[in-house]
Amino acid sequence: MNVLYRIALVLVIIGAINWGLIGFFRFDLVAYLFGGQTAVLSRWIYALVGLAGLITIPMLVKRFEDEDDVDTFTRMDRNPSYGMEAGEEADFTEVTKTEVKKVEKKENE
């Protein structure tokens, strides 16, 4: 995630906290800290939070680079389990095809 997305995400979080305070306690932290809702600095912060929200929209659909390392194999692909609910069965993972053919020949004779 590049620096722009990180900064935008921090601003979105700040905006979310401010909206939470407004919703739960009717307290606008940005307006309190910077001189009211109509103060120039407060308006700049509101504008930056709004732009940050727009910048982070692609994060909803962007495939992150970290997800490329995800193991796509299931357990059945790597290490199959032939056990039964009623009890354990023999482990057939090490049986070779030649041994299977020998057993089939003996059964046919």
Q: Tell me: the pLDDT tens digits for 89-109?
A: 666 666 666 666 677 777 776
**Do the domain assignments include residue 53?**
yes
Domain assignment of residue 59, given as a range: 3-69
**Do the domain assignments include residue 109?**
no
**Do the domain assignments include residue 74?**
no
Asked whether residue 86 carries a pLDDT value surpassing 70, the answer given is no
**Do the domain assignments include residue 26?**
yes
**Do the domain assignments include residue 89?**
no
**Do the domain assignments include residue 38?**
yes
**Do the domain assignments include residue 105?**
no
The backbone region for 57, taken as left when phi is positive above 0, alpha when psi lies in -120 to 50, beta otherwise, is: alpha
Question: Which DSSP symbol is given to 62?
Answer: P
Domain total for the chain? 1
- pLDDT value at position 8? 94
The pLDDT tens digits for 57-83 are 988 887 666 555 555 555 555 555 555
